Amino acid sequence: MDKAIHLFKDFLIEREENVIANIFVSIDKNQPESYIKLTDQSKVNSYKQQIKELIHLLESFLIGELDDERIKDWGKRVSEDKVRLGLSLSQSVQHFNSIRGALWEELTVLANQMSNLSAGESLRLGNLINGFIDDLILTFTNSYTGQANKRLRAQQEVIDELSTPVISIVDGVAVLPIIGDIDTHRARILMEHTLRETKNKEVDCLIMDLSGVFIVDTMVAQELFKIIDSLKLTGVDVNLTGMRPELAHSVVTLGINFDNVKMFNNLGQALKAFGVVRK
């Protein structure tokens, strides 16, 4: 094994706790908000363990015994934690600068203590540190992006579910309040969710409340018709309510025809028509 590499590896093993302490100090100084999240009582030991593992990975890297799977596994676990803590990619990558700085500081201490360590050897060790950290950042970034996208998709699914609630009123009668704009994506979610929920809840009559829809264009009307026709094919009677004056004006202007669909002025009227009255 190269003498300089051997010296630095052993030096890191001896001063592991010092390296970790310096990393924490650097993050606290440069990223106080991140530091608070990372050093929460329930998180601090986990983060310390992750840094220890990183140092061990570097030690293996220096002697040529590091395989890609260990790097990928570390990157996956650490990126999952960062996403869970709500740390941005930018904040997370800055942590690597603190780690890089702490490792260079240890190299400087070693060079000052070892008079026989030449400037060239110190520079070579520094380049190894930089190469290791740069590769680690790339692995971490790829994993973080995947985890963040997965989390966003899960959140979007929850939002989609919450934005298309089929609310049972009495046996066989349910209300679907539609709020906000309808685009192609939301129309597809509306279609899938409504068909599934009306079947699961054994809905015979669905009242679609449009009082929260502010814009109706040809595309929106077409998507609504598709949903209505699909529901009719499954035996569900669809009724519309909440058509505001400005919405009605847009419908007439666009020449959209809702003649085959029962219309009610408001949800209260629709419910009364199906026997849902206050006693």
**What CATH number has the domain bearing residue 222?**
3.30.750.24
Residue partners of 216: CB distance under 8 A and separation at least 6: 247, 250, 251, 254, 256
* Position 28 in a domain: yes
Q: At what angle do helices 218-233 and 245-254 cross, to 10 degrees?
A: 90
One domain, residues 224 and 112: no
**Chain segment 78-133, per-residue pLDDT in tens:** 988 888 888 888 888 888 989 999 999 989 988 888 877 888 888 999 999 999 99
One domain, residues 209 and 234: yes
One domain, residues 128 and 217: no
- Secondary structure class of 133 (helix, strand, coil): helix
d(CA 247, CA 263): 13
d(CA 255, CA 132): 65
**Chain segment 218-267, per-residue pLDDT in tens:** 777 777 778 888 888 899 988 888 877 776 776 677 676 666 778 888 88
d(CA 25, CA 233): 66
One domain, residues 37 and 94: yes
One domain, residues 213 and 237: yes
pTM of the complete model beyond 0.85? no
d(CA 37, CA 43): 8
Residue with tokens 């300089």: 4
Structure confidence at residue 1 (pLDDT) = 46
Task: Tell me how many domains the chain contains.
Answer: 2
* Position 124 in a domain: yes
